[in-house]
Chain A
Amino acid sequence: MITLETSAPRPAEPSAPLTRLGVGVLYNPALPDFLRSDLDALDYLEVIPEMFWTDRGLGGGEGADRFREIEATVEVLDLVAAERPVIAHSVGLSIGSADLFDRERIEQIARWHARYRFPWHSDHLSFLRMGGPDGHEIHAGLAVQVPYDEEVLALIAGRIRAVQERVATPFLLENNVYYVDLPEQEMSEPEFLNRLTRETGCGLLLDVHNVYTNALNHGFDPHAFVDQLDLGTVVEVHVAGGNELAGMYTDSHAGPCPEPVWELLGRVVAGAPRLAGVTFEFHASYYPLLGPEGIRRQLDRAREVWAAAG
């Protein structure tokens, strides 16, 4: 069933500093062996929960009728969760969709939070699902940017509140990567992010590789961008690598982080008092390039940058 959000009282989102977890990695299908052999390298594991279940989609029932767990991957998750905190980083809420809001998916995250006690959870500031005919949905094929307009701010703020009411752990949104410029936006991206976090109490998952990618493709100074953000709302940072595709630099999670991303991380951590985690993301296909030692090097570098920034 496709529903529109209803207005709700603003929830009390914890504004106190979260426990500083340290440095983690985003789960991908190449990682199970690494997690078994090198778990000591991680302070936490971040997971995309949608990788651990199949989803029959809107109208596909509730709970286990709709979301069927994939046993083999959940077994790996359970092994790690016994030893390390687990963070949920969802891809499927599609919080920016104008005509679709999937409350049953929020319930599923709430159920998983009850099971894994996420210190926080997050999703993306974008949309990728849309309402289709006969209650079915249409998928955009990639996370698409939203215009930074008042109308969109109000829409997403309402959805954030709905998430906060149902999932009793801080909720963060991640800044998106975008490859086209939408003209005539009512706000700049930093202004939109600052207002969204201020008006909802939602935290910011600042993906500094996304900032770096956007800066390269759209010709702005990423450090100036970071300086415009209210870094007091940043709870988590993502770092990653990328490469070129069709004439643009992309956030493809292609192996190790480029040097400018480490520099940007240093600037962010120096000004982010609530920062609780730095997560390294890489695509599974780059595991042979990185190997266990390569992953450790990225994690160690993140720790060094964080420590150096005090």
Chain B
Amino acid sequence: MSELLVNINQRYKSSTRIDSGNVDIASFLDSFVLHGTAVNILETISKDYEGSDQRAYTLTGPYGSGKSTLGLFLSLLLDQNSRTRKLAQQKLESFNIEFANSFHHRFKIKKGWNVVKHVSSLTSPAHAFLESTYIAFDIEFDHSTIEAMSESACLTALQSTIESRQNQSDGTILLLDELGKALDFQSRSNSDLHLFQSLADITQKSKTPFIILGFLHQSFSEYAKNKDAVTQKEWAKVQGRYRDLGFNPSIDESLVLVGETIDCELTTRKALNDNCSISLNPVLQHFAIHARNEKILRKTMPLDPLVSLLLGPISRRRFSQNERSLFGFLASHEKHGFREFLIANYSALQDKPALYGPETLWDYLHHNLHHVITTSQDSKAWLEGCDAIYRSEQKGEWLHVVAAKTIALMTIFGFQHNLHASRNFIIDYFVARGHSLQAIKEILSDLESWSIVIYRQQHDALFIFQGSDIDIHNMVLDKITAVSHGVDWTTVCQSHQVVMATAHYHRTGTMRWATTQLISKINTVFIENCKATPISGQSFVTFVIPATVSIEAELHQIATQSPHIAVGKPTSLETLRSTAIELIALNQILKEEAKIKYDLIAKKELEERINHAEHKIDEELLSIFAGAQWSYQNGPVPTGPLSTAASDIADRLFPRTPVVINELVNRSKPSGSANSAIKKLMNAMLENSDREDLGFYEETFPPEKGIYLSALKSKGWHQYKKEGYCFPKTWSKDAIAANGNMHQLYLEGVRTIQFADGMVTLDDIYNVWMASPFGLTKGLLPIYGLALLKSLEGQVAYYDMDSTKQFIFIPELDEELVNKIYKYPKEAGVRYFEISEIQTNLLTNISTAIAGKGAIHGESSILAIAKHIVKIVHTLPHWVKKTSGDNFVDQKQGLTKEARALRNKVVSANDPYKLILEDLPDIFDLDKNDTALGMKLSIKLRTALDDLQGQHRMLVAGYKSILLRSLGAEFDEDLERRCDRVAMAANRPHIKELALRLGKYLKSDHKDFEFVMNLAIGAAEKNWTDTSIRNGLDQMQNMCVQFRRIESFNRLDTSIKTRPIAMISTDKDGSHVEFEGFYDRASILKPEVAIAIDKVKESINVLDKENQVAALSEILTNLLTPLSQEAE
């Protein structure tokens, strides 16, 4: 890079650290800018030293104001090295010789002072002070010895050390830079300020002169602002022991510093002076107070004079803290910074040298510091400025924007220093910059009419339009006060930190993560959560930090019962608490203050603050969790990063985790491609378990093969046994030795199935595997689930919950069930059926028992046997399947209770194992462990089946016998003829039908008597019911009576001359008796018959009618042939 014509004097750049070792004294003094404020401080201290016993001071001033530099200068003035002292003295003299002398006298400098320089950090102050003192005094010490000392012991040691050097020096001065940090530490660790009071006491009690000078950014009590009012008061009291010296260099002094910093090559300086003086005039003219600074302002060029004036105020603002001092701006390489400007404009001298204008300064601030400013007290004004400039960019031209930026800077930072943007100043300023009067006037009137700037009479100046009337900053402060008591601030402190058990992962291949939680109260939900066993993919342990001391004990109590929480003791929650309360306040304002809704600027400011607070909470939480002391199961956890603790806990919680190094599947949420590989692998396990490498090709290497090799083959699941490749039930010794944990996992799976009371679902097995001590991940569950089931083939029955929501027995593992194992483990069931000797015997016996019933003899698989039984029952006639078993025909021939029970069970059975091994012994009330079970059961089973199968035959037989008895016939040709006759003669369709069907039955080799029965029962066979069957019996009898009646009256003998006669009466038992006879029609015409009739009439005429009937009936009875008696 070529040499620039303007350079930044680097020595001003860095802030001073008072304790830095080799200070080049000459150059320090050379670059040190002594100004009035600094001299005043020195004067105060020296006067006090001479005339009072005040020895303790605090120097309070903003960041970057040069406090430390002043401290260093003071130390040089008192230095024990006379040459150093002299150089410093000269510097002082150069400012004011009179004061320089009186300073020397007041301190009575002869040997010089011991200077202890201390920079505080967040450690115990008393110990750190003592160490710094030892270092300054060249005393050797042991850090740990000091650490072990109490605060008061430290102070005593400090005092005696100082006093020990009584003769070698004039006194000791203790410079405490960053004293605020020490105060912060005391505040956070909840110690009181007694230490600082004691320290102040020592300065007065000490036998040798002892001065303390501490550097602060804010007063003591400010550091205690998060404390309650009483504490704050106490801190203020301690502050009283220290004389507080304000250190706030004026704008002028800043100007001097800026001027000193800018190093201008002479010709350039001249060119600037010649060309840019005109720019200086409006400033000098309108800000009379700065007229005397003309010389200095010239020196600050090529900064625009207005920029130079604004830099001072800007550097005083809060946001300028943290090394962003004045010099930071001048020297840094940030975008839009002065440095960038110089590189662009001062590599070579131009005719009209450029000035770094306020618009660039605005851009610099906006680009680099926006986020900081928006959370500072300047946020409101700043955001208003941003809004105004945004609008000017939308509506106006370049010059509008420049003017707006200029006015904005003056509004925001100039106001307190009376740098008001009066209309005339702005006009003159821009005219001086070379714009026409007319143009700038128009610009201003535009800006005003667009409400970008506003004229305020009170100050006779233009200001950025205050879009917002709301002072968020104060509102927040008020709100914080209002909410800070009694609010549960932890509600906004949700820790999102997730901690990986990294070491555990590297060792086992299983990724586990822990969550973090800050809790303020223990409720049932929390306790429930602690008790719940996390599943794969859920956090296995939660690092919990109690927000209050009061719940700490209770939390530890819970932690003893739950292996899923670790409890931490935080260092300090103060910062978190105050930030959280601020966030709550901010959120409440956002919610409650209706006016903010309509005030975009205020809303934006509020949102920026909310963002900032949230961010800060996150950061603070991170550091709190990282810094806490952790305990697990009431024991310590290894220190170090949280992930170390997490790994330790994971190791303890899951000691039996099988090692599976496969990132594809050993995880709680396998990727899409991993899932497809898992599915392919499972299909291969289903189809090709008997093949080497499950039949994967040797040459290719698809992911499913990789999973197979790393998760199954190498882990002992799939082995070569004497019966070939398989998922063995018994693992080889080598496999067990190599995969101890995996074998335990397998055995646990077997046990879960074997010792369950009935069926277990795959989900049940998975839950066992996911819990401690295995902690298997979700990706591996289905693979091992299926492998387990494969290994138990023949000993277990499989079930699938189908769309009827019932578990249905599945004869063998199939693709659909494998899919369930993978995807819906709750719907895949398995049950252990160990076939004992008794049961084998049982099967053989049952097999034999049903052999004659359509089953293939020797078939002995449970399913086959059960199927045959089911088939026997299902192919029973419908009515037998539903009959209550009452007898209809014969008292003895009802369905037995056992047969009925067998039928009921079989009809609804869907599980062969349960049917054969459990239900059958239950039905027949047999002991399942009886060695003779097989024999006993097969006899009973056969009887019951016979009984069932015999029902229909018996019913038909019953109906037949009634028919034959009623008709007085046999199933022979005679009956056949009778049927034919009746079929012809019958008028009633019912009887005609009976005759026809019966005839048909007889003619067709006696087949399908059921058709005859249907007529009586009134329904087709499949609709027969107990009731209709019972009614059908009576109906059959009735029909037979009618059959015979028709026969009687329609005896169609070959001779048509014959007439039938029939008479029905009852016998002495009340049974119906039927009589019949025949006579020749011609008989009536015979004379002897006519005479006989008259005689009979005559002989019975004496009787009444009833007796006449009785007499004639009696005679007829003897004449006619009785028909066989009808049954009831």
Pair from one complex: no
**A-contacting residues of B (Cβ < 8 Å)?**
none
